[in-house]
């Protein structure tokens, strides 16, 4: 098993582990942000470039550095590899540049966006971005598109992370979802805006890091930080049936997959669980969900249930191709 050192911390990991996964095993303090990689989606990652790190030593066998920054989510560790993330000013600066690019065409309409409070782009810009913008041109705009009865696509906010495309490719049986056009005018689209009718299409909403794909059954019902997450499950023939219910008072406003510390869904859920089971009676309640993420979403929920530091890290397995 190769040993890798990231920002001075060493860990032994299974062969085939990426730098990003190794960093997650060490802990948040060395982990680069990841906006497009998604552990359970094959071939995801590599697009956003927020996870770039510097490989200062390739391996024991080849101690040379890699001249350019690499995408940690798509680069496997090798025995003796040494990686600089937050300890490299060059990387911190470069990442600021990436964040600026991701925000360049973003509408910054958080006050009217459903994702605000649980948006990874918000977190990213707080943690890794600059205070102001140097982009002074008109930002690109798209019309909102209904992807069937449950999902709305607001391309204007999309960061083209390709996660939803991978969901469409890998979880749903008929691909009608992809990218049209190229470059700065690329857009996520369904084939001739064909509605996505598939039992697992709702997972696109969960994987979308921003407010580009939102749940039409929840839109504008509440700011997310006014809702309380509760873990629940039910016997479902289609999926694992393990979800998070988001309550406001007694009312279940929405149902989502359960997300881990890194904001990734633990197991994908079906559309029936997500869109059609919105009564407490539909579910076995397990208890409040603690959110170990220092985002707005984790504010105001419950009096401290568990100290985040007592959380066990997720069991991260390298994924096999």
Partner 1 sequence: MGKKLLTEHFGVQGIQQLQVYKQHGGYASLEKALKKTPDEIVNEVMTSGLRGRGGAGFPTGRKWSFIDKKSGKPRYLVCNADESEPGTFKDRYLMEVNPHLLIEGMIISSFALGAHLSYIYIRGELLYVYHILEKAIAEAYEAGYLGKNILGTGYDLELYCHPGGGAYICGEETALIESLEGKRGNPRIKPPFPAISGLYNNPTVVNNVESIATVPAIIAMGGEEYAKIGIGHSKGTKLISACGHIKKPGIYEIELGLPVEEFIYSDEYCGGIRGGRKLKAVVAGGSSVPILPAELILKTEKGEPRLMSYESLSDGGFTSGTMLGSGGFIVMDETTSIVKNLFNFTRFYHHESCGQCSPCREGTAWMEKILHRILHGHGTLKDVDLLWTLQKNIDGKTICPLGDAAAWPVASAIRHFRSEFEDFVQHPEKHLDVKHYFNQIEKKELA
Stretch that binds ligand SF4, among 92-100, 124-132, 207-215, 252-260 (CB under 6 A): 207-215
Q: Left if phi > 0, otherwise alpha if psi is -120 to 50, otherwise beta: which for 164?
A: alpha
Question: Considering the complex, what minimum distance in angstroms separates the CB of residue 288 from partner 1?
Answer: 36
Among 159, 230, 291, 296, binds ligand SF4 (CB under 6 A): 159
Q: Which is nearer to ligand SF4, 14 or 178 (CB)?
A: 178
Pick what 34 binds: ligand SF4, ligand FES, partner 1, none; C-beta below 5 to 8 Å, kind-dependent.
ligand FES
Pick what 274 binds: ligand FES, partner 1, ligand SF4, none; C-beta below 5 to 8 Å, kind-dependent.
none
Question: Considering the complex, what minimum distance in angstroms separates the CB of residue 293 from partner 1?
Answer: 22
List Cα–Cα distances, 297 to 47, 112, 119, 120, 314, in angstroms: 26, 16, 9, 11, 20
Positions in 183-242 near partner 1 (CB under 8 A): 183-186
- Residue 318 touches partner 1, criterion: CB under 8 A: no
- Nearest partner of 203 among 247, 263, 253, 267, judged by Cα: 267
Query: In the 3-class helix/strand/coil scheme, how is the chain assigned residue by residue?
Result: CCEEEECCEEEECCCCCEHHHHHHHHCHHHCCCCCCCCCCCCCCCCCCCCCEEEEEECCCCCCCCCCCCEEHHHCECCCCEEEECCCCHHHHHHHHHHHHHHHHCCCCCHHHCCCCCCCHHHHHHHHHCCCCCCCCCCCCCCCCEEECCCEEECHHHCCCCCHHHHHHHHCCCCCCEEEECCHHHCEEEEHHHCCCCCCCCCHHHHHCCCCCEEECCCCCCCCHHHCEEEEEECCCCCCCCEEEEEEECCEEEEEEECECCCCCECCCCCHHHHHHCCCHHHCEEEEECCCCCCCHHHCCCCCCCCCHHHCCCCCCCCCCC
Question: Considering the complex, what minimum distance in angstroms separates the CB of residue 180 from partner 1?
Answer: 9
Q: Which is nearer to partner 1, 136 or 173 (CB)?
A: 136
Backbone angles phi, psi at 256, to 5 degrees: -135, 170
Pick what 258 binds: partner 1, ligand FES, ligand SF4, none; C-beta below 5 to 8 Å, kind-dependent.
none
Stretch that binds ligand SF4, among 136-144, 155-163, 220-228, 244-252 (CB under 6 A): 155-163
Among 19, 26, 39, 45, binds ligand FES (CB under 6 A): 45
Q: Which is nearer to ligand FES, 71 or 81 (CB)?
A: 71
Question: Considering the complex, what minimum distance in angstroms separates the CB of residue 182 from ligand SF4?
Answer: 8
Stretch that binds ligand FES, among 42-50, 134-142, 241-249, 254-262 (CB under 6 A): 42-50
Q: Do strands 145-147 and 151-153 pair parallel, antiparallel, or not at all (unpaired)?
A: antiparallel
- Residue 196 touches ligand SF4, criterion: CB under 6 A: no
**How many residues make contact with ligand FES (CB under 6 A)?**
13
Positions in 280-309 near ligand FES (CB under 6 A): none
Q: Which is nearer to ligand FES, 96 or 216 (CB)?
A: 96
Question: Considering the complex, what minimum distance in angstroms separates the CB of residue 86 from partner 1?
Answer: 17
**Which residues of the chain form contacts with ligand SF4 (CB under 6 A)?**
158-164, 188, 207-210, 212-213
**Which residues of the chain form contacts with partner 1 (CB under 8 A)?**
45-49, 52, 67-69, 71, 74, 94, 97-98, 100-102, 104-105, 134-135, 137, 159-160, 162, 178-179, 181-186
């Amino acid at each position: 098993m190769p040993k890798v050192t990231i920002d001075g911390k060493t860990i032994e990991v299974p062969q085939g582990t990426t730098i990003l996964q190794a960093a997650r095993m060490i802990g948040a303090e060395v982990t680069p942000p990841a906006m497009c990689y998604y552990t359970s989606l094959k071939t995801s990652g590599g697009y956003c470039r927020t996870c770039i790190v510097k490989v200062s030593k390739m391996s024991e066998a080849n101690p040379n550095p890699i001249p350019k920054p690499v995408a940690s989510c798509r680069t496997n560790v090798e025995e003796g590899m040494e990686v600089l993330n937050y300890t490299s000013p060059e990387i911190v600066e470069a990442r600021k540049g990436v964040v600026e690019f991701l925000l360049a065409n973003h509408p910054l309409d958080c006050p009217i966006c459903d994702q605000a409070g649980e948006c990874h782009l918000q977190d990213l810009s707080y943690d890794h971005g600059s205070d102001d913008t140097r982009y002074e041109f008109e930002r690109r705009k798209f019309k909102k598109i209904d992807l069937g009865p449950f999902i709305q696509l607001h391309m204007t906010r999309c960061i083209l992370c390709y996660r939803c495309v991978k969901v469409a490719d890998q979880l749903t049986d008929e691909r009608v979802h992809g990218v049209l056009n190229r470059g700065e005018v690329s857009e996520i689209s369904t084939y001739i805006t064909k509605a996505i009718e598939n039992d697992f299409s709702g997972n696109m909403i969960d994987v979308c890091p921003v407010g580009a794909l939102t749940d039409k059954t929840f839109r504008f019902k509440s700011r997310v930080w006014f809702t309380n997450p509760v873990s629940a499950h039910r016997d479902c023939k289609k999926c694992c049936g393990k979800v998070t219910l988001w309550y406001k008072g007694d009312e279940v406003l929405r149902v989502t997959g359960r997300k881990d510390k890194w904001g990734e869904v633990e197991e994908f859920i079906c559309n029936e669980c997500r869109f059609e089971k919105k009564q407490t009676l539909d579910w076995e309640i397990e208890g409040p969900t603690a959110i170990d993420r220092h985002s707005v979403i984790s504010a105001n929920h419950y009096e401290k249930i568990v100290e985040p530091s007592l959380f066990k890290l997720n069991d991260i397995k390298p994924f096999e191709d």
